[in-house]
């Protein structure tokens, strides 16, 4: 009798346990925000703090230490000469490739599409791609210099799109950026002027600006297409990237981001979009939001130098904004 009562009691506890455990279970988590890194203007000259070789070694080491297996490097092959500097640049490019990264097209000499003809621009794209096709780990992605896809000249935009399609080259869009080229330029200018640079302030500004850029892009994409796409962040091969990319990766992950490969990111169908907007400079997320007339803000504010430059002066140089 006692055994029977014990059995019945255990059975009642088991029956009651199921709904209790289900009620306390963690809800299914939404897919992580995903982002890949891309670096423009490779090979790039010396910055404020590191030699070109030091920068390459540091970037490779930090990315490896954070488990980032692949980034995309958008090259200007016409900037690689046949002399000693060119050989050194090729050595650095080979090191990036050996580390698992991929190479892509940033045109031969970085022309502003709005300032050249469609024929001249496509010639530069073709020359760069012919060079890239001979390199290992190359991709047929084009990153438009200055993110200039032709501006309001609809005929030029159409000619470029047709020319790229004929060559089997895709637009290597970005969805998020924080004008790191400007932060780098301000840093170099401050160093040359002999100003005191607060390195912690520089790190924090760099990291914060890029995390906010990623979050802005994701929120804008959700408003525009109803989902969080696989994002691509625009960076440049700079000293500040080498110094602070590890901090940026850590901050993005704390913010809920998963770092993915560019190969995976560009498999997202969002990168097949061709927004019809009057002016095509800017990120893909911004272009799509403008096309659909999503209510402002449709532009990340720290890409406005009137906002970015005073922040640099205050937080990095501890100067009062002019």
Domains and CATH numbers, the chain: 37-315 (3.20.20.370)
Predicted confidence at residue 322, as pLDDT, reads 61
Predicted confidence at residue 16, as pLDDT, reads 31
Predicted confidence at residue 271, as pLDDT, reads 98
Structure pTM?
A: 0.89
Burial label, 35 (beta-carbon count in 10 A; 0-12, 13-18, 19+): buried
Predicted confidence at residue 281, as pLDDT, reads 83
Predicted confidence at residue 278, as pLDDT, reads 86
Cα–chain-centroid distance for residue 133? 23
Predicted confidence at residue 123, as pLDDT, reads 98
Predicted confidence at residue 245, as pLDDT, reads 98
Predicted confidence at residue 2, as pLDDT, reads 39
Predicted confidence at residue 8, as pLDDT, reads 37
**280 near 157, Cβ under 8 Å?**
yes
Predicted confidence at residue 22, as pLDDT, reads 29
Mean pLDDT per 10-residue segment, the chain (322 residues): 39 32 34 92 92 97 98 97 94 98 98 96 98 98 97 94 98 98 98 98 98 98 98 98 98 98 98 92 95 96 97 96 62
Predicted confidence at residue 1, as pLDDT, reads 42
**52 near 247, Cβ under 8 Å?**
no
- Is it true that the peptide bond before 152 is cis, omega within 30 degrees of 0? no
Predicted confidence at residue 195, as pLDDT, reads 98
């Amino acid at each position: 009798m006692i055994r029977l009562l014990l059995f019945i009691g255990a059975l009642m506890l088991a029956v009651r346990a199921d709904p209790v455990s289900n009620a306390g279970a963690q809800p299914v988590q939404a897919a992580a925000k995903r982002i890949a890194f891309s670096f423009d203007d490779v090979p790039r000259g010396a910055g404020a703090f590191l030699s070109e070789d030091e920068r390459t070694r540091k970037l490779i080491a930090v990315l490896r230490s954070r488990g980032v297996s692949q980034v995309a490097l958008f090259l200007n092959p016409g900037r690689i000469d046949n002399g000693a500097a060119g050989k050194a640049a090729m050595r650095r490019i080979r090191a990036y490739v050996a580390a698992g990264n991929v190479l892509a097209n940033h045109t031969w000499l970085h022309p502003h599409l709005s300032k050249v003809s469609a024929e001249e621009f496509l010639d530069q794209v073709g020359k760069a791609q012919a060079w890239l096709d001979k390199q290992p780990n190359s991709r047929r992605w084009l990153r438009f210099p200055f993110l200039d896809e032709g501006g309001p000249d609809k005929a030029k935009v159409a000619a470029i799109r047709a020319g790229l399609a004929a060559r089997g080259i895709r637009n290597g869009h970005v969805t998020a950026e924080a004008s790191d080229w400007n932060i780098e330029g301000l840093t170099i200018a401050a160093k040359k002027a002999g100003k005191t640079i607060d390195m912690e302030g520089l790190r924090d500004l760099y990291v914060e600006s890029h995390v906010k850029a990623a979050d802005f892009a994701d929120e804008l994409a959700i408003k525009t297409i109803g989902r969080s796409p696989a994002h691509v962040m625009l960076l440049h091969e700079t000293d500040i990237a080498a110094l602070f990319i590890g901090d940026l990766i850590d901050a993005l992950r704390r913010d809920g981001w998963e770092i993915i490969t560019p190969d995976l990111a560009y498999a997202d169908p969002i990168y097949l979009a061709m927004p019809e907007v009057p002016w095509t400079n800017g990120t893909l997320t911004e272009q799509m939001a403008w096309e659909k007339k999503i209510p402002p803000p449709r532009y990340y504010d720290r890409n406005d130098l009137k906002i970015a430059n005073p922040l640099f002066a205050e937080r990095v140089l501890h100067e009062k904004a002019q």
